């Protein structure tokens, strides 16, 4: 991989993380996940009832290759909230079951009414 390519991919990833308060890097999409872990993670996020962004790493092999290095996290899915890596499927599900994911997502993803004020 060329150094410029790596820089561009890293810049894209950092921009995605900066622009999306709740962002899930996953395999597939929330409606059509391509792996069980991504399915469980996106279902937990959808159950929080707030919008979230996602990136399908299967459609973006450059991001799939680069993000584990940037995040220092080897697997997908990866949940990022307010620019911080929260973790993968196990952590997302544990937080959801403990009631910790919902307030985190609600705080990070303001409702439409909040944005119109």
Residue list for the binding site? 27, 35, 64, 76, 89-90
Degrees, nearest 5: CA angle 93-99-105: 80
Q: Is 25 helix (H, G, I), strand (E, B) or coil?
A: strand
DSSP state of 49: T
In the block, residue with structure tokens 């620019």: 83
Known binding-site residues for [2Fe-2S] cluster equal 35
Residues 68/45/95/101 CA torsion (nearest 10 deg): 110
Q: How many whole angstroms separate alpha carbon 58 and alpha carbon 61?
A: 6
Known binding-site residues for glutathione equal 27, 64, 76, 89-90
């Amino acid at each position: 991989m060329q150094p410029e390519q790596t820089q561009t991919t890293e810049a894209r990833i950092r921009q995605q993380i900066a622009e999306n308060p709740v962002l899930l890097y996953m395999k597939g999409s929330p409606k059509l996940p391509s792996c069980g872990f991504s399915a469980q993670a996106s279902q937990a996020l959808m159950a929080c009832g707030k919008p979230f962004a996602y990136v399908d790493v299967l459609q973006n092999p450059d991001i799939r290759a680069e993000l584990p290095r940037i995040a220092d996290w080897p697997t997908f899915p990866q949940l990022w909230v307010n620019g911080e890596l929260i973790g993968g499927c196990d952590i997302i599900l544990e937080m959801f079951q403990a009631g910790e994911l919902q307030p985190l997502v609600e705080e990070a993803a303001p409702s439409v009414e909040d944005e119109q004020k």
